[in-house]
Chain A
Amino acid sequence: MTDTFQLTVNGTQVEVTCDRDTPLLYVLRNHLGLKGTRFGCGVGLCGACNVIIDGRTVYSCDTPLWSVAGQAIRTVEGLAGSPVQRMFLEEQAAQCGYCVSGIVMSATALLERNPKPDEREVRSALDNNLCRCGAHNRMVRAVMRAGEASS
C-alpha cells in the first residue's frame, strides 16, 4: 500500500511516497539517492546495510519503512569525514571496501556509547559485520585510534 512518510535523514526532514513495507535500505538508496548504505544479504546477517537510529545500529535491509516513520536516521553520508572515517583512510582499512560503510556505522555507534573501547570491545561490536576481504585487523586499529583521537 502506497503512503507518504516523513523521516529525518542525516538531520534533514524528507518525505517519501512508496509502499509502506519497502525496506528502509531501498528508500535510502533509490528514493533518496543515498547509495552509501549497501545491500549484502537482505536478512540481517552481514551488516552491510547498517544505519544508526536512536544511537543503535539497525539493519536497514529488513526494516520496513512504516516502522521508522518520524524517526531520525543516520547514514554513512551523514558522518561527513568523522574521525572513524579519517582513521580508516590512515590505516588503509579496506580492500574492496564493500563492507566498509556498514562497519563505519557500527564503529560510530560503539564510540558514541563507549568512547575508549579496548580491542575486545571493538571486535565484539563489529561481530555482526562481515568482511570477506580480511581487512578486519586494520579496521579494529582504525576504530581504536578514532577513540583515542576524540578523547
Chain B
Amino acid sequence: MIPPALAAAPRLSRWITINASGTVAVRSGKVELGQGILTALGQIVADELDVGFNRIQLIPLTAPVTAEQTLTAGSRSLEESGAALRQAAAEVRALFIAASGLGSHATVHDGLIMSDAGTTSYWDLAETVSLDVDATGEPRPKPPSHHTVVGTSTPRIDLPDKVYGRARFIHDMSLPGMLYGRVVRPPSPGATLRSLDTSATKALTGIVEVVRDGSFLGVVAAQEETAISGAELLRSHAVWDETASLPSSVAELLTSTPVETQTVDAVSPGFPTTATAYYSRPYLAHASIGPACAIAQWSGTALEVWSHTQGAYNLRKAITIALPVALDQITVHHVEGSGCYGHNGADDVAFDAVLLARVVPGHAVQVVWSRADELAWAPFGPAMGVRMSACVENGTITGWRHETFGNGHLARPGMSPTAPGLLSAAYLADAKPLFVSDDPPTARGGGAQRNAIPLYTFPRREIIKNRLLHMPLRTSAMRALGAYLNVFAIESFMDELAGDVDPVEFRLRHLTDDRARTVILAAADRAGWWDRVPEQDRGCGFGFARYSNHGAYCAVVAEVRAEQELQVTRLTVAVDAGLVVSPDGLRNQIEGGAIQSTSWTLKEEVRFTRTRVTSTDWESYPILKFSEVPDVDVLLVNRPDLPSRGAGEAAQGPTAAAIGNALADALGVRVRTLPLNAENIIAAMPG
C-alpha cells in the first residue's frame, strides 16, 4: 500500500534527491515549528536509505515547489510525511541497488553499495539514476527491528543555530534594500476609521510611505525604529468609531449566541441521568514569544513572500481571494518563526507585508507585530463550555452525555473558497470579512468535538456539539483544539462520579483498551499513586486520554500544593505514541505540552470589555514562570510494532484534568471553571 501523502504526490524526485557530492536532499512538505519534526523525518530517511544522518539535508518548504502537504498541524506530521518518506526512501534505495548491477542481495552502508560482485555508491550513481518515476508501493520498508537511526535520540538539527544566536528566524532575515513596515491596528475588533491626519507621520525623517486603505493603516520606513515610532505617531492621529461588538462575558457568549447543533455520536440516547456538571474555559492566546513576522516583495507582477505559516499553499490561495493576483504569480517560502502552537498571526502578518510592500514595488518589506497585537489580534483558542451528565447504577456508569458549546476551532486561510480568512483583508476599503470558524469533521479528529467521544466503554452515550454561528472574537486552531476542555471535563467528571472508589481503579473498570490500561498503570506506578499519603493542602490527581481518539495515549499524575495560589509541584506522564522515532524528541514534546497546559490551566485567560481585548501584555496575560514550573517526569511506552503517532498535543487535556483532580483532592473543592486561579477557586468554595 502506498501511504496517502505519497499517493497524492507520487513522483519520488519531489521527495528525495541523491546528490553526487554525498548528500541527500529531503523535501518533507512539513515545516519546523520548534517541535523537532525535521530531525525526526530525517532520521526516517537515513534509516531507510542506509546513510548517515549527517548526510541528510532538509530543504525548506517553498510553495509551489515542495511536495504538496496542506498543513503542518494536528500532530499528524510523523504519521503522514513520516510514512510517505519512509516508503519513498525504500523505493529510492531499491532503484539504486537495481542500477548498481550488484545484484538484489547487495547491501548499503552509509551510501556505499556492496556485494561479492563489487562496490559502488549512491553518489557515483547519482547522475545516472532518475528519480523522476512514481512510487509503486514496492519494496516494503524495513521492519522496525532493523532500524539503527530511528529509535535513537538524534540531536535536533536546528538547535545549534538557535543556541549560538545565529540568524535563523524569519525575524533575522535581511534582504538587499529591505524596508520595515508596521501596521496600526484599530483599537477594537468592531472599530472603523473615522478620520486620519497623516501629515506629521509623513514629515518624520525616514518614513517612506504611509498607507491607508479603508481601516487598514500602516507605515513603511527605511529603519525599523522609524517604522515603530512612525506607527505610534500615526496611531495618535487616527480617530476611530468603536462599537460594543464583544459579549459581556464568556458565560453570556455561550448561552445567548445562536448555534448549529450536531449529534456527534449516539448509542441508545435518552437515558435518565443521576449527575450533571458544567465545565468551561476562557479564550486562550497562542502567545508566541516572538511576535508574528513576514517579508514580502512585489517585482513586476510577481509576489514573493517569506513566512512562518503552517500552510504555505493555503496562504497563497488566500492571497488570491483577497487581492487581484493569480496563484502562479505568488511564491511562498517557509522560514522558521517562534513556536506557534496552532493558527496564530503567521498568515495575517504575511498579508500585512504583502499590503505594505505593494506601495514600494521592488523592495522587500519586513513586518513584525507588536506584543499587544500578538496578544489581541491573532486568532484565539475559543472559549468553550461542556455540559456533562451521566447515569450511574451500582457504581458503574451506564449512560454518558457530553454536550459542547462554543465557536469552531478552525478558521484557517484557504479553507473558504470566497473569504481569505486574513485579518487585514477585513479592514480594507474592499473588505473581505473574516469567516466564522468551523470544525474539521469528526473523522479528521474534529474541532470542538475532538476527544468528546470517550474511550471508556459506556453502554449508552450521546455526544452533542453546539457551534456558535457568530464570532465576536476571532477563533481558530490552538494546540489540541477541543480536546483540552473535553478531556478536562471527562476526566473531572469521572473523578466526581467515582465517589469513594479510587479514581484509577474506577477508570480501569470502564476501560477495555489494552494500550490505555497499560499507560494508565504505568503513570500510576511511576508516580507512587498507590502509596500516596494524604497531607495538609497537598493533593494528587489523575488524567488520561488518547489524543484525538487516534493519536498518542497519555496518562498524567499531578501533585499540587494549594496555599495562597495553586502550585503544581510535579507531573508524572506516561505516553504510548507507537513506534518511537526519537525518544528525547518525544520527551521534549511531552514535557513542553505538559508545562504549557499547566500554564493555561493555572493562569491564562484572554480578558475583554464590550469593545476591546484588554489582555495585551505579559502582565495582563501572564504565563507560567521558571519558578512556577513543575518537575516533569516522562515515561515512554515504546511500541515498535505500531505506527508512530505525533505527541505534540497529547498532554494538554490529561495534564489539565490531573491538576483539577489534584486540586479537588487537596481542598475538597471541585473547580469546573478554568483557569484554576484564586478567583475561580474562591468562587467554587461552598457558601
A residues apposed to B, CB below 8 Å: 18-19, 22-23, 26, 29-30, 33-43, 45-46, 48, 75-77, 79, 81, 85, 88-89, 92-101, 104, 120, 122-124, 126-127, 129-140
Contact = CB atoms under 8 A, between A and B. Distances in A.
Interface stretch (B12-20, B154-162, B412-420, B547-555): B154-162
Interface string B191-235: 000000000000000000000000000000001111010000000
> Looking at A18, A76, A89, A132, which has the most chain B CB atoms within 10 Å of its CB?
A132
Contacts of B278: none
A134 to B, nearest CB: 3
Contacts of A132: 287-289, 338-339, 341, 596, 623
B165 A101 contact: yes
Interface string B588-614: 110111111001000000000000000
B601 to A, nearest CB: 13
B625 interface: yes
Nearest to B226: A19
Given A40-B291, A45-B619, A95-B34, A130 B166 contact: no
Interface in B154-200: 155-156, 158-169, 171-172, 174
Given A37-B165, A39-B290, A136-B629, 6 more contacts: A39-B291, A96-B33, A97-B34, A99-B289, A127-B625, A134-B594
Given A43-B617, A132-B339, A134-B591, A95 B289 contact: no
Q: Give the interface centre of A36, A39, A96 by most chain B CB atoms within 10 Å.
A: A96
Quick one: which of B36, B164, B341 has the most chain A CB within 10 A? Answer: B164
Contact of A22 (B171, B174, B225, B592): B225
Interface residues of B, number: 62
What's the dominant secondary structure at chain B's contact region?
Answer: loop
Of A23, A26, A92, most B-chain CB atoms within 10 Å: A92
A41 B339 CA distance: 15
B394 interface: no
A135 B593 CA distance: 9
Contact of B224 (A26, A89, A131, A137): A26
A45 B618 contact: yes
B379 to A, nearest CB: 16
B134 interface: no
B368 interface: yes
B35 interface: yes
B585 to A, nearest CB: 8
A65 to B, nearest CB: 9
Contact of A35 (B172, B228, B368): B172
A130 B623 contact: yes
Nearest to A45: B618
Contact of B155 (A18, A89, A136, A137): A89
B588 A95 contact: yes
8 contacts: A30-B224, A41-B617, A46-B289, A97-B161, A98-B169, A98-B338, A130-B623, A134-B599
Contacts of A98: 34, 162, 169, 288-290, 337-339
Contacts of B171: 35, 38-39
Nearest to B178: A30
A95 B580 CA distance: 18
A48 B159 contact: no
B410 to A, nearest CB: 21
B370 interface: yes
Contacts of A41: 371, 617-618
B626 A136 contact: yes
B659 to A, nearest CB: 14
A135 B160 CA distance: 15
Contacts of B370: 42
